[in-house]
Amino acid sequence: MAAAAPSWPPLSPGERSVAIEVLVHGPLSRTEIARRLGLSPGSLTRLTKPLVESRLLVEVPEAGGMAEVRQGRPSQPLDVVADSRYFVGFKVTQDMVYGVVTTLRSEIVARHDRPLTTRDPTEVAALLARMTGELSRGRPGVAGIGIGVGGLVEDRAVVGESPFLGWRGVPLAALVEQRTGLPVVVENDTAAFVEAETWFGAGRGLDRFVVLTIGAGIGYGLVLGGRRVPYAGDEDRGFGRHWIVDPHGPLTPDGRRGSAVSLLTIPNIRYQVRAATGHDLTWEEILAAAAAEESMAARVTEEAGRALGTLVAQIANFVMPQKILLAGEGVGLMDVAGKVVEDAVRDNRHPQAAPVALETKVSDFHDWARGAAVLAIQVLVLGAAQA
């Protein structure tokens, strides 16, 4: 069992706000911190003094060597010590566990993956504990564990339902905590990914931000006022299945026609190609065939690109986000159908509407594991009740 996890010292709400602002956006000068948080110089001095004395924040050299002058003396920017604490993150799929260790700023410093040979919850928890020990070796400052799974998660602790794992009501956080002695947070994997991009990635500093992921399924995350809108139930897994993009579109094996899932997910794109050609091609082979303008692969990926552009446009029309991040293992679609996506976005928007800021991120399962680690970072800096 691991030693007690290092925690932040007790902080007042004001001190915590300063610490989080520096963590997410730093290094920052004291003037900039005061401006961002609407504080007077005196209030800022009162709040930062205990943070610096406890070494939660440290003064760092100014970029370019020019220190800010404050009350007649130079003042260096404040920053966190990113490697003062480490966090373990896991992405659990139906056949693999992907693990990472990150710093306090979510930089990945180590990776470790293991095949999932059983889906028995106690055996999976034991595997996660062993992997935590391996990832923690030589890093005594591990402060928490985050776990991302596909499916419905309750109270950031219990896997209510995961069709990929065949689980219902599994208290995964408690099972792993018992074996590691570390605080554990469990969340839907898309939600974890959205939190990471909101705090440390493409959505940092934005009030309205959307994450759309395509791959084995379709994931959706909405950020309003700089905070992720939590799922009230099973919206994430049901998002693409019930959003009809083309009522005359293809059928999925379960008989749904024209939904985002039927048009955009890798399994269903492969199904369409197999049904038309009799050949079972991998996703990479389909993209290569489409790039070579082979007729069936080109037709299916063009149809998928049109569906993606329509979906992006509809999201933009209703949510008016400052940015939409497209991620997941299916983003290679943009390489062969990017122009089709752009045309479909334009065709489904008002002619005078502002352009949609669409950013594409090529991500693998380690990025999803990093998202889970960010959940553990949030528990440390916000407290379990607010994270």
Task: Say if 103 falls within a structural domain.
Answer: yes
Task: Say if 344 falls within a structural domain.
Answer: yes
Using one digit for the tens of pLDDT, what is the confidence trace for 332-374?
999 999 999 999 999 999 999 999 999 999 888 999 999 999 9
Residues 214 and 315 in one domain: yes
Using one digit for the tens of pLDDT, what is the confidence trace for 234-288?
544 556 667 788 888 777 656 667 888 889 999 999 999 998 899 999 999 999 9
**Amino acid 235: pLDDT:** 47
Residues 308 and 214 in one domain: yes
Using one digit for the tens of pLDDT, what is the confidence trace for 118-153?
999 999 999 999 999 999 998 878 999 999 998 899
Task: Say if 172 falls within a structural domain.
Answer: yes
Residue 144, domain extent? 84-195+366-382
CB 130 within 8 A of CB 97: no
Residues 220 and 353 in one domain: yes
Length of the chain: 387
Task: Say if 6 falls within a structural domain.
Answer: no
Residues 25 and 75 in one domain: yes
End-of-domain residue from the set 36, 56, 80: 80
Using one digit for the tens of pLDDT, what is the confidence trace for 65-76?
545 555 544 478
Q: Is the pLDDT of residue 212 over 80?
A: yes
Sequence-separated (6 or more) residues with CB below 8 Å from residue 253? 268, 271
Three-class SS state of 126: helix
Instruction: Report the CATH number that the domain containing residue 71 is assigned in CATH.
Output: 1.10.10.10
CA distances from 373 to 106, 187, 308 (A): 7, 11, 29
- Report the amino acid identity of residue 53: E
Mean pLDDT computed over every residue of the chain: 88
Residues 289 and 377 in one domain: no
- Report the amino acid identity of residue 196: A
d(CA 109, CA 51): 26
End-of-domain residue from the set 59, 80, 101: 80
Torsion angle of the four alpha carbons 185, 186, 191, 192, in this order, in degrees rounded to the nearest 10: 60
Task: Say if 7 falls within a structural domain.
Answer: no
**DSSP code string of 295-360:** HHHHHHHHHHHHHHHHHHHHHHHHH--SEEEEESTTTTHHHHHHHHHHHHHHHTS-TTSPPP-EEE
Residues 332 and 220 in one domain: yes
**Amino acid 384: pLDDT:** 60
Task: Say if 1 falls within a structural domain.
Answer: no
Residues 151 and 268 in one domain: no
Residue 319 pLDDT class (50, 70, 90 cuts): very high
**Amino acid 230: pLDDT:** 86
Three-class SS state of 108: strand
Using one digit for the tens of pLDDT, what is the confidence trace for 28-72?
999 999 999 999 989 999 999 888 888 888 988 876 554 555 554
Residues 248 and 336 in one domain: yes
Instruction: Report the CATH number that the domain containing residue 227 is assigned in CATH.
Output: 3.30.420.40
Residue 213 pLDDT class (50, 70, 90 cuts): very high
Residue 196 pLDDT class (50, 70, 90 cuts): very high
Residue closest to 259 by CA, chosen among 273, 272, 271, 241: 241
**Amino acid 53: pLDDT:** 85
**CA gyration radius, the chain:** 23
Task: Say if 34 falls within a structural domain.
Answer: yes
Domain count, the chain: 3
End-of-domain residue from the set 80, 105, 130: 80
**Amino acid 1: pLDDT:** 45
Residues 341 and 209 in one domain: yes
Residues 305 and 328 in one domain: yes
Residues 36 and 145 in one domain: no
Q: Is the pLDDT of residue 9 over 90?
A: no
Residues 240 and 326 in one domain: yes
d(CA 19, CA 14): 9
The beta strand positions in the chain, using DSSP E, are: 57-59, 68-70, 73-75, 78-80, 86-92, 96-102, 108-115, 142-149, 152-154, 158-162, 167-170, 184-188, 208-214, 218-224, 227-228, 323-327, 358-360
**Amino acid 135: pLDDT:** 95
Task: Say if 387 falls within a structural domain.
Answer: no
**Amino acid 51: pLDDT:** 87
